[in-house]
Amino acid sequence: MEDSWEMLADCCLCPRECHVNRLEGQRGFCGQTAVLKAARASLHPWEEPCLTGPAGSGAVFFTGCSLQCCFCQNHAIVAEGRGAELTVQRLARIFLSLEAQGAANLNLVTPTHYIPQIRSALLLAKKEGLSLPVVYNSSGYEKKESLALLEGLVDIYLPDLKYDSPELSLRYSRAQDYFEKAAPALAEMFRQTGPFVIDPASGLMKRGMLVRHLVLPGQVKDSKRVLHYLHDTYGEQIYVSILNQYTPMPCAADFPELGRRVTPQEYGRVVDFCLRLGMENAYIQEGESAAPDFIPDFDLRGL
C-alpha cells in the first residue's frame, strides 16, 4: 500500500473534507469506502473529437462522486452506488486491456475519491507497459493537494466548470464553494499539463486541458460568466466544450426549473457570446444531443 493510501484514514481528498476513516469502511459524502468500485470499462465514442479517435476513448466509470449534482445523468452509479468491487491489480489489467482494444486514451471518469487507489493502479500499469495518454475526467470540484499526487501520471485534464454562482452551486450541488475550489484546481491542472498539444497526424490531444461547461435551463448569464473567466484566464491555451446535452432526470424532480431542456435560443446566446469573446478552441454541440440514449449502460461491462 502506498503512503498516499493513508489519506483515506482521515479522508480529505475532496473539498468536502469529511474526515471519515474509509480504510475502516466509513463512507463520506462520496458514498464510498476505500474499496474500489466501477460500473463500466469500455470504448466510449461520445467524447469530444480530439479525445475519441476511430475506436473511442477507453473510459472507466467509477462508482460514487464527491459532488453529486441533482441533475446528474450518471445517477445510478453516483448516488445509488451501482458497481463492482475491484482490486488495484484488476484495475491495472483493465487499463491495459483498454489499450489493447485500441482506445485513443485512458479516460478516468469521476475519479476524485479514488485518487490513491488509481495512482497505485496507474503506476502498476505503466510498469507493465501502459503508454496511452491518461485523461482525468472530473466535476472540477477538487483540491490542489490531491491533484498533486497525480503529477506525471495524468496527461490530459478534462474537468467541468459548472458554475460561477455560489447560489446555483449550493442549490444544485450542495457546494456553495464550488467556483472557489474549482478555479485553483483548474490552475493546478494547467500547471501540470501546460498548453494543449494535438498530434497533427491523428488530431488527438496528447497533453493539455479541455474544460467542459454544461448549459443549464434558464442560466445563460452564469454560463457567460464561466466562459468569460476561462477565456480571461487561459486564452487559447486550452480547449473549451460548451455542452448542449442537458437532459431532465427524475433525480431533479424537486427542482421544477430543471424539468425542461435548454432551448435553442438559450444555447445560441451562449455560443454567440463565445464567438464575441474570440474563443477559437471551443467545441459546440449541434443538433440533437440531449437524450437518454447518450447515457452509458452501467452494466459492469469490461470489469
Other C-beta atoms within 10 Å of 273: how many? 19
Classify each residue of 57-92 as buried b or exposed e, where b means 16 or more C-beta atoms within 10 Å of its C-beta. Answer: bbbbbbbbbbbbbbbbbbbbbbbeebbeebebeebb
**β strands within the chain, DSSP E:** 36-44, 57-62, 84-86, 106-109, 134-138, 156-159, 197-198, 205-214, 239-243, 282-284
Domain locations along the chain: 27-214
| Class of CATH domain 27-214 | alpha beta
Residues 6+ apart with CB under 8 A from 100: none
Q: Which residue has the cell 482494444?
A: 101
Q: Which residue has the cell 502506498?
A: 2
CA 122/CA 127 separation, integer angstroms: 8
In this structure, the chain runs to a length of 303
Contact, 27 vs 33, CB < 8 A?
yes
Q: pLDDT truncated to tens, each residue of the chain (303 aa)?
A: 567 899 999 999 999 999 999 999 999 999 999 999 999 999 999 899 999 989 999 999 999 999 999 999 887 787 778 899 999 999 999 999 999 999 999 999 999 999 999 999 999 999 999 999 999 999 999 999 999 999 999 999 999 999 999 999 999 999 999 999 999 999 999 999 999 999 999 999 999 999 999 999 999 999 999 999 999 999 999 999 999 999 998 888 899 999 999 999 999 999 999 999 999 999 999 765 555 555 677 888 989
